[in-house]
Amino acid sequence: MKKILIIYSEYTGHGHKSANEALVNAFNKIYGDNITCKSVNGFKLGSPHFRVTEKLYNSCVKYLPDIWGKFFLLSNTNPATLNKIISIDIERKFLKLIEKYQPDLILSVHPLFNGSILNILEKNKLNIKMYSLLTDLVSVTNIWLDNRADRIISPSNEATEFIIENNIDKDKIATFGIPVRDHFKSPFDNLEDIRKNTNINGKLRVLILNNTEKSKRIFYMIKKLHEKYDCDVTVVCGRNKNNYKKLKSRLKHYQREVNVIGYTKELFKLFYDNDILITRCGSLSIVEAINCIIPIISMGALPGQEEGTPMYLEKNGMGYSTSSTDDIFNKIDLLIANNREGLVKMREAQFNYYGRNVTDKIVKYIADDILGNEVKN
């Protein structure tokens, strides 16, 4: 049986962990008798100080987004130095892991564990295949890229152009998209089903993913939505219990019903059951929404890895970028004008998106290599 070691992270955003889960599930489903996977949080291979940095991510992006943007810039302008620091920190535990597990292939779904791991493999003369799977949709930092990798799996055509421009061998790149879990799949088989099942006449249903937004801003959105439209509003706060409590407190004497949810394992059902998604543009949540066919309105993006995503959505007809909180409602007006014609067209564009339903394709691409089949880009 062939062995794959997947390096991911637990707390640096939603994407790395979910991509890992999607890939492991797909390998088990398709190649359970021939390929086994072991997933390791790369930060746990390092020192206590390094492990702490992982858990600072959410606080940093919420309260100090500009500082996070500067860190992203550092990783883009000086990846070699950052990779060297990380490789020194994680080398001892990583080598013990390799000795014990003896993988046939290492797959990194986190940017900090590409060049750093390749440094260790090269230093110790370990001949193990190394793949990088990018989980930032458009705004790719150079720390993702290392020409020593055997393959680089790209999340978009735009990302592929950037990768090639930054001196990665073209024949090492495969463009698929970002893997998502099985739940996040369209319930529709064709465009006719999309048109028939778009909410044209009923009460508008709006879903807000709170992410790291302050409760004051979310409360303002809720009030404006109810003032402007006949709509139901659902807000998902995720694992942020503090945001959940603050929003519930603000809504205590509010006259309209609002469905406020904390963490849920059934986000896909909320995507199916609502007409419009308002969210910050994290790559994985965006791709999950596209897979489920729900039009997207951006309420912002994290400096660095997310900043190109809103315009990417707009360019491909799958969502709208916004310039301010109030501009969110201008974009809703565009979606619902002329009997919600914009809503239908955006759902059709999402259905036709080349990066939808790609998890099994990615897994088969990787499996063909380690099982000895011909790999085609």
Q: Quick: pLDDT tens for 29-80.
A: 999 999 999 999 999 999 998 888 876 666 665 665 666 566 666 667 788 9
Question: What pLDDT band is residue 372 in, cutting at 50, 70 and 90?
Answer: confident
Rounded mean pLDDT of the chain? 91
**Rounded to the nearest 10 degrees, how much is the dihedral formed by the CA atoms of 25, 28, 31, 37?**
90
Residue 373 has pLDDT above 80, yes or no: no
pLDDT for 30 equals 96
Q: Determine contact, residues 134/154, Cβ cutoff 8 Å.
A: yes
Cα 2 → chain centroid? 27
135: helix, strand or coil: coil
Residue 167: both structure tokens together:
């001196």
d(CA 206, CA 112): 36
Provide mean pLDDT across the span 91-110: 97
Calculate what percentage of the chain has a pLDDT beyond 90.
Answer: 76
Question: Looking at per-residue confidence, does 57 or 338 come out higher?
Answer: 338
- Position 294 scores a pLDDT of 97
Q: State the DSSP H helix or E strand holding residue 361, giving kind and residue range, or none if neither.
A: helix 359-370
Rounded to 10 deg, the angle between the 283-292 and 15-31 helix axes is 50
Q: Which of 299, 349, 350, 293 is closest to 320 using CA atoms?
A: 299
The neighbour count for residue 175, using CB atoms within 10 Å, is 19
pLDDT digits (tens, 9 = 90+) for 251-290: 999 999 999 999 898 999 999 999 999 998 888 889 999 9
Q: For residue 162, give the H/E element and its range.
A: helix 157-165
Q: What beta strand segments (E) does 225-368 contain?
A: 231-236, 259-261, 276-279, 296-298, 319-320
| 33-37, 212-216, 339-343, 362-366: segment of lowest average pLDDT | 212-216
Q: Tokens in use for 62? A: 């919420």
102 φ, ψ (degrees, to nearest 5): 55, 65
Whole-model pTM over 0.85: yes
* Contact in structure between 21 and 6 (CB atoms under 8 Å): no
- Best CA proximity match to 136, nearest among 119, 158, 116: 158
Please say if the pLDDT value at position 314 is more than 80.
yes
Mean pLDDT of 228-249: 91
Q: What percent of the chain has pLDDT over 70?
A: 92
Which region among 112-116, 207-211, 295-299 has the lowest average model confidence (pLDDT)? 207-211
